[in-house]
Chain A
């Protein structure tokens, strides 16, 4: 489904600030895989997401989606196949537009945009139906401006918008990190439900180790631009935070740097 082949990315090459962000990374996602990615700050997780989504292009290497080489395909073309939810709850929705208009824009993601009305009666009924799956009562507020919603509600809406067209790949970039614990839990549960419902191939970056262990069928750990640990489906079931930290220490010979990753 998603295939990363020898991806290499250097920032500020040839300057004193030169930094290897991604160091020859290989990754393979089978259809239906839900892979969680953990790692300390600067490990290259977000860069990897940006390379997959087309915001950045790798210096070396190839990105394949559905067997198609998309390495140099522009971000907007690629996003026909990729659903994304960002960390910032404000980033995934248009605040001055209504809930139904936002959904209409997501609805035409994988279609040609034309001069047809964005929100028709038929679509409105469909939007109401998919909104019910969020259990937030948003289905009764279709014509409310999204800017009026709370951060949690906006993030839930972003999640729905990223997924209900069933993209080939779903990228979640710390999408619960900016929410309070109860809202974060709500979004985590919704993520599990939705990914399960549509059988989406998902890559989720998180700082929260418990979340990384609870969600998904595979786990990878990144450090300094490399994938240093891959946990397969069988082993992931026995995984605990302690065993992950010991594993990190064994591989790197040092303690995990980020307090945030340990504490959360």
Chain B
């Protein structure tokens, strides 16, 4: 009984890791807009699907899956730029520009796909190619042997290829992001989110930087969408609903748990946050009375807890500190009065 539970637990956590590392790319995109540009960009809900739709249509039509995934990247970039243009040149409020773009993309995604769902089963995706390649290397059987030795032989994952490949891809993107944010343009993008007036007085075109930054952010989101479609074996027009909240959850959880001291540390934290978010959701869904439809509710609750818990904890610490100081002072006063032997009025 215990062994069975352990096995199913392992399978669930393995799946969480695999999905988490792919969604981490989306979370990095959200980090770029939400934290770096200080722009809560709801385009994400639409551009994630755009990436999935473009890659699914192209793959279904026989295009090389890697090429299709790259095309998703460009489509996302275009979508993000449009949101940026709405905000900067259209002077529309940032939340509203994102919402408008998200709604517009819903129809555009339907147009791209031609119908609301494209299955990718029995088609060659980037991941079937990767896992095929991995089978030949023998890495799969190496890891599975280790698992069998620790007694998890009945829950061997089909392939380790996706996980290992995605760890490499996600970390390459992470390092490129870190590198970019330290370039002259990257510094200007960061300053745009930090102090627009200042960077404008240093001769930077903040409008262009916002457009470009949102483009990059949504390129990553769409890239992640394309990979999720291939991993899950379908693209669906509704698969992006609530994606921004998942991205925010990853960013906020990651930052809270792993810290934000430097940019490199924070991007690593965001990746960690994405994986932990997946694990939390998977574990939550294993509770008997919850079903998959509750996932969005769980997500919202996680974000609410991640946003409020630090303040509550800080508040209670503060209270304890004050109480301690008060009692210390009381003791000192008590000691003083008893030393003098006077009968001062006692402090309550």
The number of chain B residues with a CB under 8 A from chain A is 22
B187 contacts chain A at the CB level, 8 A cutoff: yes
Interface string of B178-207 (1 = CB under 8 A from A): 001011111110110011011111111110
B117 CB to closest chain A CB (Å) equals 40
Interface string of B155-174 (1 = CB under 8 A from A): 00000000000000000000
- Contact residues in A for B206 (Cβ distance below 8 Å): 76
Task: Name the CB-closest residue of A to B261.
Answer: A145
Knowing A113-B184, A117-B182, A119-B182 touch, does A97 contact B201 (C-beta < 8 A)? no
Q: Which of B186, B187, B202 contacts A161 (CB 8 A)?
A: B202
A97 touches B191 (CB 8 A): yes
Interface string of A104-132 (1 = CB under 8 A from B): 11101110011111110000000000000
Knowing A91-B195, A93-B195 touch, does A79 contact B201 (C-beta < 8 A)? yes
A105 touches B197 (CB 8 A): no
A29 contacts chain B at the CB level, 8 A cutoff: no
- A91 to B196 CA separation, bound complex (whole angstroms): 9
- A80 to B195 CA separation, bound complex (whole angstroms): 18
- A161 to B203 CA separation, bound complex (whole angstroms): 12
- Contact residues in B for A117 (Cβ distance below 8 Å): 182-184
A92 contacts chain B at the CB level, 8 A cutoff: yes
The number of chain A residues with a CB under 8 A from chain B is 34
Q: Which of B182, B184, B200 contacts A114 (CB 8 A)?
A: B184
B194 touches A109 (CB 8 A): no
Q: Summarize B's interface: helix, strand, loop or mixed.
A: helix
- A117 to B185 CA separation, bound complex (whole angstroms): 9
Knowing A79-B201, A79-B203 touch, does A105 contact B188 (C-beta < 8 A)? yes
B201 touches A94 (CB 8 A): no
Task: Name the CB-closest residue of A to B209.
Answer: A113
B200 touches A104 (CB 8 A): no
Interface string of A67-100 (1 = CB under 8 A from B): 0000000111101101010100011111111000
A53 contacts chain B at the CB level, 8 A cutoff: yes
A223 contacts chain B at the CB level, 8 A cutoff: no
A52 CB to closest chain B CB (Å) equals 12
A159 CB to closest chain B CB (Å) equals 13
- A155 to B332 CA separation, bound complex (whole angstroms): 44
- Contact residues in A for B203 (Cβ distance below 8 Å): 76-77, 79-80, 109-110
A33 contacts chain B at the CB level, 8 A cutoff: no
B184 touches A115 (CB 8 A): yes
Task: Name the CB-closest residue of B to A113.
Answer: B184
- A114 to B186 CA separation, bound complex (whole angstroms): 9
A94 touches B198 (CB 8 A): yes
Knowing A91-B197, A94-B195 touch, does A109 contact B190 (C-beta < 8 A)? no
Knowing A80-B203, A110-B203, A113-B204 touch, does A94 contact B190 (C-beta < 8 A)? yes
Interface string of B118-150 (1 = CB under 8 A from A): 000000000000000000000000000000000
A118 touches B186 (CB 8 A): yes
- A115 to B205 CA separation, bound complex (whole angstroms): 16
Most A-side CB within 10 Å, residue of B184, B188, B199, B201: B201
A174 contacts chain B at the CB level, 8 A cutoff: no
- A106 to B197 CA separation, bound complex (whole angstroms): 13
Knowing A76-B206, A113-B204 touch, does A94 contact B191 (C-beta < 8 A)? yes
- A115 to B189 CA separation, bound complex (whole angstroms): 12
Within 8 A of A (CB), among B195-240: 195, 197-206
A92 touches B198 (CB 8 A): yes
- Contact residues in B for A79 (Cβ distance below 8 Å): 200-203
Residues in A lying within 8 Å of B, measured CB to CB: 53, 74-77, 79-80, 82, 84, 86, 90-97, 101, 104-106, 108-110, 113-119, 161-162
Would you mind naming 6 contact pairs between A and B with Cβ atoms under 8 Å apart?
Answer: A79-B203, A95-B195, A96-B194, A97-B190, A105-B202, A118-B184
Other A-B contacts than A104-B187, A109-B202, 6 sampled, CB-CB below 8 A, are A79-B202, A82-B201, A97-B190, A105-B199, A110-B203, A117-B183
| The 5 residue pairs across chains A and B that have the minimum distance between CB atoms | A94-B194, A113-B184, A118-B187, A79-B203, A94-B191
